[in-house]
Amino acid sequence: MGSQVAFSGLHLPFDEMVNHHQDVESSLTHYFSHVSHQYTIHLERYSKEKLRFRLSENDKSTIFTLLAAVEAAFRIDYLQRTYQRKKDKLSKAFRALHQQKGSRASLEEDILSAWKEHTSVPAKLIGDLRGAFKYRHWLAHGRYWTPKLGQKYDYDSVYELTETVFKSFPFMSVR
């Protein structure tokens, strides 16, 4: 086994990401409102459509951040179970995987598959996560193709998915 990954400790808590999203949303709504100083100066540049576009972009940025945090939680858990040499089936599966692929194991193909095989996690939740990561991949690579996601992902649904992940998975975290 190679050297261990040095954890940064810089991953954001769920509440912080959500609060940031709310603050930006409130700020944009205020900025595009009649009481905004900018609104009276650049009246012709402001419209409901523009506000909705800005809010939608804020949603997408937060989706990206939320799903990155979900990935970090799964990867930290994968590495911690490997390093701590626990005896449960999931940890054993992760150690075998780590011997093959180290920290480059695929989240969707390897880590989520191990959770599906060795725990009681509902298949629907794994499917939702795989779809959400497809959506994140689409965002990360510039959205230049029409994605086949199998369902709609937006801020509301990804928020619910992320909250479910953090409340339900018995993750091992960085100590």
| Cβ proximity to other proteins, 68 vs 121, nearer residue | 121
Residue 3 · residue 45 · CB < 8 Å:
no
Provide, rounded to whole angstroms, the least separation between the CB of residue 48 and other proteins. 5
Footprint of other proteins (CB under 8 A):
18, 22, 48, 52, 88-90, 118-123, 125, 127-128, 131, 148, 150-153, 155-161, 163-164, 167-170
Residue 104 has which token pair? 């480059």
Provide, rounded to whole angstroms, the least separation between the CB of residue 61 and other proteins. 15
| Cβ proximity to other proteins, 57 vs 156, nearer residue | 156
Backbone angles phi, psi at 39, to 5 degrees: -60, -45
| Cβ proximity to other proteins, 9 vs 67, nearer residue | 67
Q: How far apart are CA 129 and CA 125, in angstroms?
A: 6
Q: How far apart are CA 30 and CA 25, in angstroms?
A: 9
Distance of CA 112 to the CA centre of its chain: 14
Provide, rounded to whole angstroms, the least separation between the CB of residue 112 and other proteins. 13
